[in-house]
Amino acid sequence: MNDSVEMRSFKRFKIPDSNVKFNKKGLLSKFSFFSQESPMINLGEGGISFYSKLKLDYDKKLIIQIFIPDESPLTLTGKVRWVGVENVNLGFPTGVEFDPFGKGINSEETLEVIKKPEKKYYTKIEQKFIY
């Protein structure tokens, strides 16, 4: 029996062939570079999870670029909320909670772009179970 409690406020969904780059937000972030592209695990209105070759610290602020097929790249800010056990080939699974939308980089328009593939990929899942 699994006693874990789901803490997310929003659904997460997988988008095939989507990737992420990140930049550690801080004093010198204007002079630092984005990471190499890493595979995205899942995405939702509240956050994202992806593999990172670097083990990031809890609460670390990030600037994240999300590359979704057939969409312009998205840029968002957020904080690391969890880091999992390293996968030798992919890196550390990392969960990031987005900063509130409507402030700073995280615009309402970006939120609408995130909602668009959510509808597309949930529709496909639901259609599999229609008899």
Domains, the chain: 19-128 (2.40.10.220)
pLDDT bin (cut points 50, 70, 90) of residue 24 is confident
pLDDT at position 116 is: 79
Question: Residue 120: enclosing H or E segment and its boundaries?
Answer: helix 108-128
pLDDT bin (cut points 50, 70, 90) of residue 15 is confident
pLDDT at position 18 is: 93
pLDDT at position 128 is: 40
pLDDT at position 51 is: 97
Question: Residue 35 carries which side chain, given as an amino acid letter?
Answer: S
- CA torsion through residues 52, 58, 62, 65, sign: positive
Distance CA 82, CA 95 (A): 5
β 38-43/19-24 pair status: antiparallel
Mean per-residue pLDDT, 54-69:
94
Q: Model-level pTM greater than 0.75?
A: yes
Report the percent of the chain where pLDDT is more than 70: 76
